[in-house]
Structures are given as structure tokens and as C-alpha cells.
Amino acid sequence: MKIVIFITLAVMTVALCLAFVRLVKGPSLPDRVVALELFSTLSVGIIGVSAIMTDVASFLDVSIVMALMAFLATIGFSRFLERGGPRDD
């Protein structure tokens, strides 16, 4: 079980790195917002895996709050873009 958890964490870390490349490269602001949303979804998963690894169920509350914050951040960013944010960057 330990090995499976470590493989899972390693794969998800690689996924985080790939999303980070898109966050840095992203030709426009919406692309970066998509990468940030993927970031937060990945961290929800990583928190779930660490809840299994440490046997602490309270981590799930953290992941609920994280998902909520990510949703609000995405909605806020898209409102900002529609109401005349930077057209190009």
C-alpha cells in the first residue's frame, strides 16, 4: 500500500509540474486561469492521498475548502476578464 501511495504522489507531482509549465508559458490570461484551476484540482487530490497516507480524516475538510476557493477564484477571474481586463498579455 505504501508503494502505491508513493507512486500516486509522484505521478501527481509530475502532473503539477506540467500544469506549472502551462501557467508560465500560457499565451493569454484565460490559459493561465485554466492552469490555475487544474492546480487546485490536483491539490484537492493530493490532500486526499495524504489523508489516506497519514490516517487523518480531517484533511478532507481542507480539500472541501480548497475546491470552494478554486471555484470562486475562477468565477472572479472570468468576471474580471469580461468586464474589461487586459485584452492581451
> What is the distance in angstroms between the CA of the first residue and the CA of the last residue of the chain?
46
Measured distance CA(71)–CA(61) in Å, rounded: 16
Three cell numbers at 70? Answer: 478554486
Measured distance CA(25)–CA(19) in Å, rounded: 10
Task: Check residue 71 for interaction with other proteins (CB under 8 A).
Answer: yes
**Residue owning grid cell 490570461:** 29
Site pattern 18..57 for other proteins (x: CB under 8 A): xx-xx-----xxxx-xxx-xx--xx-xx--xx-xx----x
The distance of closest approach from Cβ of residue 74 to other proteins in the complex, given in angstroms and rounded to an integer, is 4
The distance of closest approach from Cβ of residue 19 to other proteins in the complex, given in angstroms and rounded to an integer, is 5
Q: Where are the alpha helices (DSSP H) in 1-89?
A: 2-25, 29-54, 59-82
Residues interacting with other proteins, by CB under 8 A? 1, 4-5, 7-8, 11-12, 14-19, 21-22, 28-31, 33-35, 37-38, 41-42, 44-45, 48-49, 51-52, 57, 60-61, 63-64, 67-68, 70-71, 74-75, 77-79, 81-82, 85, 87
